[in-house]
Amino acid sequence: MSGASPARTVTGVPSPIRWAEASDGSERARLPVPVDHRDPDGPAIDLALVRHPAAEPGARLGALVVAPDDPGSSGIAVAGELRKALPPSVTARFDLIGFDHRFSGESAPLQWGLDQREIFWVFHQSGSFAAEVRFQAEIAAKAAGPSLAVLPHITTRNIARDIDIIRRALGEERISLLGHNYGSYVAAVYSQMFGSHADRVILDSVLSPDWVWSGLFRNFARNCEETLRWWCARTARPGGPLGDTPERVRDAFEEVLRKAGAGGIMLAGVPVPLDDQFLRVLAMLLLSSARSHAALEDVVRSAATGAPPNPATLQLIGSMFAVPRDASTAAAQMAILCGDAAWPRALEEYESASEEAPGFMGRALLGVKAGAFWPAQPIEPPTAFGPTAAGGVLLVQAERDMFTASVGATRMRSLLGERSRLLMVRGMIEHRVFPFAGDAQVNEVAGEFLTTGRLPDADITLDDGLDDLDARALRGPR
Amino acid sequence: MSQPSSDLTVYYDQPVEWSAPDPGLGGARRATLRVPLDYRRPGERDIEIGVARHEATGHRQGVLMVGPGDDLGNSGLNLLTALLGSLPGALIEAFDVVGFDHRFMGASTPIFCDLEPSERFWVFHYPESFDAEVRYQATVAAKCAAGSLDLLAHANSRNICRDMDVIRGVLAADQINYVGYSYGTYLGAVYGEMFGPHLNRAVLDAICSPDWVWRGLFTDFPENGERALNRWCRWAATRHDTYGLGATGPDVRAGYDAVLAAVDRGDQVTLMGFPLDRTLARLIPVGILNSEKAYPVLADIVRHLRTGADLDAGSLDFLARMFGQPKEESGTVAQLAILAGDAFWPRSPALYEQDMLKAAGEFPWTGAALNGIKAPAFWPVPPTEPPTRLGTDAGGGSYLLVAADEDMSTPWVAARRMHEVLGDRSTFVTVADTAHHRVFPFYGNAGLNELVAGFLLTGRTPGPDHVCVNPDRMLEPVASGPG
């Protein structure tokens, strides 16, 4: 089932998009797509699109379609971020096209009536197994109520088909694509299904097709633990507040978790006691970038000693949790993670996995999820990958990316074959590298590929001449 | 869709090879038909339907199809055998009597999911706690998904009715007559709606409410169960001299409740040496109370449980028959698949927990078991089409509805709902003072049997709201409730 089956996609030519200028200078439009691509004349929804036209129209090379970076997250917002962050050589020559994917954001968002607890804890709760079964089954029940008929159509393959409708509505024979995190998977699926229409493709912070999607959690749990160990090693130093050996640092971390589990800990400046569950998620988020590793050290120190955290730490934590996640975002995320491929339904699988789970996030990540109770089945298997037919695919990956472990990128690289290259930054703990990590070399290689269409001659590993990988990671990106 | 579409003619016109008369099937001949797994995609994948036909022994008048019920392991072929031994002779003479196992059980592409014996009791499974029950029922559903995911979506009553119409076509009958019990009554109603011109006369006995499809079947039970149990208590009180269970209905009930309380506490309570758990301590009486003719068996068992007195031969024989032939696993799985496949069940655990707690208070006997969460709440596939709207102008056939006034599993009020929905196409017959599930011809009420046979042979119906008296009634009628 790899590749596109053109007979199953919309055959008519969509009408040209009518762009309207928005207050921020971008252009907005709506474009109808069929809910069920097997039934192109059936019910349709409107996708919300944004275009940031090429800054130098005379030098325009084409359209660069940006894929949403998380299931459920706004592709329109990501395009806005990229407009500011991409090298000028890219924004000069490409129209940046963003879209909220089907059933998210401004594109017929799902309304399931999820409450705040469900939205926040849907993936990260580590309570009793029985309680989690009920919690997750309730979420699946809420999905079934209003959305049973559309659930089978909320899949990555259908998002890829939507992208091809966007392409044709743009009047482009070929498009270039840029996708981070889940967006890397969307762009990869598009270039697998519609390879002849994919020109220059960048996959950044790459998901392995083997993870779709219960496997994502298993891999992620291991990676969180590995990153924590690394943090312990680098946080240990003579006279350091948490100890002079990695073991002592880990002990300090575990002791804070224990106290949090026993009754919660008050962190000066944080209005509510932090429980064990919350502290684990906070640690996970702070571990995900080397730029916030000092804040984790500060949190643990503060929790252990009662001394107030640094203002910068509080500000960072505040910014992480200040904006509550939107209910429709969480719903769309669930719909795709549970809809692309069937999850195991045998509860004992989850129970034994979460009991044996490695590391400080294992219990939460490997516990039962709503996918085990999903009320619908996939209508097609997930995409099988083989050598790409796209003009070229450049994979960009931080070696120690916690959210998307670098094995995902090496796996995808091996599947995509000759017309792909991997750009790996050794030692870097970063998620979403190009251009967000601000690494000049990465930006140069990726920008060059986008503007010339030429892949590097070989895979590239950047280590900037540093012998000590830890030193680089400690410092974070330049 | 009263005419098969051209895609289906290959099924309607398929050649069929009948076996030699099978003594195990009352002398009927067996055959295996092919039908499409998915009627929206005929030709893609076929499944088998096992049918059997006993040819008319006299002047042949037509086909009498027997629908599968949920007794006898759902097996329509078992039911056919039972009927061939019980039907009035005039019907055996006049009709080719035809039975079938419905799709996915018995002789019809059976599905198996490695259910443990205890998991086959999912309908009446008594919750140890709500969380434990979630686990138990979700596991049953997960096993079905693991074992038969590709088939589950095609298990529903409408597809069984389509299968029935293929059988009709293979028999080269323009019309069929029909007898259905319990779940088979629903099939009879749906068939008449979908294939009205091909249905002549239908007898529905032990009738499901059209409103039940299907959680209502469960949630209606506890109240009817209490009434049936209390009726037995009242009967046992009249035999206090024999059984010593109490001189009034409430006394008898208190004695049974004491046994139940001991089981629920976790005390060792054994039946013939076998320990009773909360489920079996309820399920065994439920099974017995489907027929008042087995009232003495329950009295004997309760006496045994209370005093340790030996069981009499009749009870031992009854229990041996009840447990000697456990329901075939495919019967359990297919039944579950249909109950889950005909209509979408609520899926919120919180809703079931509320219902369970409420029903446990109101109906302590079976409320917690029947109103709690059930495997269909975790079903892995949604229904492929909405449930059938019954009683529309598209329907056909003439129905005789038979309802015993004290039937526990399909209560009289459920039959009345079917009568309201089918309207003028149905004639309603109440069998008075009778606690029996499936009355015709099994209870042996001669007046009723004559009336039903007459209807099938001639179309003659009694007047509206006819009442058949029970000349062998076991209990003087009084207001319901113990005492």
Give the mean pLDDT of B410-439. 97
Helix (H, G, I), strand (E, B) or coil at A265: strand
B262 contacts chain A (CB < 8 A)? no
Quick one: DSSP state of residue A455? P
Q: Residue B322: pLDDT band by 50, 70, 90 thresholds?
A: confident
Chain B residues close to A142, C-beta within 8 Å: 348
- Look at residue B320 in the predicted model and tell me its pLDDT: 85
Q: Which of A272, A321, A312, A303 is nearest to A124 (CA)?
A: A321
Facing A148 at nearest CB: one of B344, B346, B380? B344
CB-based contact (8 Å) between B38 and chain A? no
**pLDDT > 70 fraction of chain A, expressed in percent and rounded:** 94
> What does the block give as tokens for B23?
């003594």
Closest by CA to B248, choosing from B228, B224, B230, is B230
Residue B5 has pLDDT above 90, yes or no: no
* CATH number for region B6-103+154-212+386-468: 3.40.50.1820
CB-CB neighbors (< 8 A) of A347 in chain B = 135, 138-139, 142
pLDDT attached to residue A15? 77
Q: Which residue of B has its CA nearest to A374?
A: B380
What confidence tier does A116 reach under pLDDT thresholds 50, 70, 90? Answer: confident
Candidate from B344, B378, B380 with C-beta closest to A377: B380
Measured CA to CA, the distance from residue B131 to residue B139 in angstroms comes to 12
What percentage of chain B's residues is helix, strand, coil (to nearest 5)? 50, 15, 35
Of A219-228, A352-361, B318-327, B445-454, which has the strongest mean pLDDT? Answer: B445-454
Q: Are strands A94-99 and A198-204 parallel, antiparallel or unpaired?
A: unpaired
The per-residue pLDDT of chain A, averaged, comes to 91
Per-residue tokens: B191: 């068939």
Q: How far is A39 from chain B (nearest CA, A)?
A: 15
| pLDDT confidence bin for B325, thresholds 50/70/90 | low
CA pseudo-torsion sign B434, B440, B445, B450: positive
For B91, left (φ over 0), alpha (ψ -120 to 50), or beta?
alpha
pLDDT at B272 over 70: yes
Could you tell me the residue ranges of all domains in chain A?
Answer: 6-109+151-211+385-475, 116-149+325-373, 214-322
**Chain A residues closer than 8 Å to B138 by CB:** 133, 137, 345, 347, 372-373
Q: Chain-wide mean pLDDT for chain B?
A: 94
Confidence at residue A472, expressed as pLDDT on a 0 to 100 scale: 42
pLDDT band at B117 (very low <50, low <70, confident <90, very high): confident
User: What pLDDT was estimated at residue B482?
Assistant: 45
- Give chain A positions within 8 Å (CB) of B142: 345-347, 372
Q: pLDDT-derived band of residue B326, with 50, 70 and 90 as boundaries?
A: low
Q: Nearest C-alpha of chain B: how many angstroms from A118? A: 14
pLDDT of residue A7: 32
- What pLDDT does A6 receive? 34
Q: Of the candidates B141, B145, B105, which has an alpha carbon nearest to the alpha carbon of residue B122? A: B141
B378 in A contact zone (CB under 8 Å) = yes
- Please report which confidence band the pLDDT of residue A113 belongs to, taking 50, 70 and 90 as the band edges: very high
Whether pLDDT at A469 is above 50: no
CA A92 to chain centre: 27
The pLDDT assigned to A467 comes to 41
pLDDT at B73 > cutoff 80: no
pLDDT score of B133: 97
Question: Is the pLDDT score of B306 beyond 50?
Answer: yes
Query: Which candidate, B4, B62, B394, places its Cα nearest to that of B201?
Result: B62
Residue B4: band (very low, low, confident or very high) from pLDDT cuts 50, 70, 90? low
Least confident of A317-321, B78-82, B201-205: A317-321
Q: Tell me the shortest Cα–Cα distance from A375 to chain B, in angstroms.
A: 5
Structure confidence at residue A14 (pLDDT): 73
In percent, the amount of chain B with pLDDT more than 90 equals 89
Coil, helix or strand for A424? strand
Q: What is the pLDDT of residues A143-202, one digit of tens each?
A: 998 899 999 999 999 999 999 999 999 999 999 999 999 999 999 999 999 999 999 999
Report yes or no: B298 and B288 within 8 Å, Cβ to Cβ. Answer: yes
pLDDT value for B72: 56
Reported as a pLDDT band with limits 50, 70 and 90, residue B329 is: confident
What values do phi and psi take at B384, rounded to 5? Answer: -85, -15
Q: Which residue in the block uniquely carries the two structure tokens 């963003």?
A: A98
Look up residue B18 and give its two tokens. Answer: 């009948």
Least CA distance to B149: which residue of chain A? A377
- End-to-end Cα separation, chain A, in angstroms: 43
In this predicted structure, which of A352-366, B97-111, B249-263 has the lowest mean pLDDT?
A352-366
Confidence of residue A322 (pLDDT cuts 50, 70, 90): confident
Residue A139: list chain B partners with CB under 8 A.
none
Residue A5 in this model has a pLDDT that exceeds 50: no
Name chain B contacts of A131, Cβ cutoff 8 Å: 131
Q: How far apart are CA B149 and CA B153, in angstroms?
A: 8
**Is pLDDT above 50 for A72?**
yes
| Polymer length in residues for chain B | 483
Please give the backbone phi and psi of residue A374, each rounded to the nearest 5 degrees, phi first: -60, 135
Mean pLDDT on B163-181: 98
Domains of chain B, residue spans: 6-103+154-212+386-468, 113-152+214-341+344-382
Search chain B and give the residue with CA nearest A135.
B349
> Which residues from B are below 8 Å from A141, CB to CB?
346-349, 377
CB contact under 8 A, A377 and B348: no
Q: Confidence band (pLDDT; 50, 70, 90) for A468?
A: very low
At A271 the pLDDT is 78
- Residue B450: pLDDT over 60: yes
- B336 within 8 A of B197, measured Cβ to Cβ: no
What is the distance, to the nearest Å, from the Cα of residue A240 to the centroid of all Cα atoms in its chain?
34
Please judge whether A133 and B344 are an interchain contact, meaning their C-beta atoms are less than 8 angstroms apart: no
Q: Which of A138, A140, A345 minimises the CB distance to B145?
A: A345
**B145 part of contact set with chain A, CB < 8 Å:** yes
pLDDT at B273: 84
The reported pLDDT for the residue numbered B319 is: 87
* CA distance to partner chain B, nearest, from residue A137 (Å): 7
User: Which residues of A are less than 8 Å from B380 in CB distance?
Assistant: 342, 345, 374-375, 377
Output the pLDDT for position A12: 61
Kindly report the nearest CA distance between residue B325 and chain A, in angstroms: 29
Among candidates A130, A140, A346 on the partner chain, residue whose Cβ is nearest the Cβ of B131: A130
A153-167, A367-381, B66-80: segment of lowest average pLDDT: B66-80
**pLDDT score recorded for residue A18:** 93
Q: What pLDDT was estimated at residue B20?
A: 97
Partner-chain contact B131 A377, CB within 8 Å: no
Determine, for residues B379 and A375 on separate chains, whether the beta-carbon distance falls below 8 Å: yes
Confidence check: pLDDT of A13 > 80 = no
Chain A contacts of B381, Cβ < 8 Å? 376-377
What is the structure's pLDDT at A10?
Answer: 47
Position with higher pLDDT, A326 vs A88: A88
Are A394 and A254 spatial neighbours (Cβ–Cβ below 8 Å)?
A: no
Are the beta carbons of B142 and A346 separated by less than 8 Å? yes
Q: Which of A369, A373, A374 to mutate to test the interface with B (most CBs of B within 10 A)?
A: A373
CATH architecture classification, A6-109+151-211+385-475: 3-Layer(aba) Sandwich (3.40)
Q: What percentage of chain B carries pLDDT values higher than 70?
A: 96
Confidence check: pLDDT of A11 > 70: no
Q: Which helix (H) or strand (E) holds A45?
A: strand A44-52
Among A34, A5, A33, residue whose Cα is nearest residue A17: A33
Q: What is the pLDDT of residues A82-111, one digit of tens each?
A: 999 999 999 999 999 999 999 999 999 999
Does the beta-carbon distance from B381 to A376 stay under 8 Å? Answer: yes
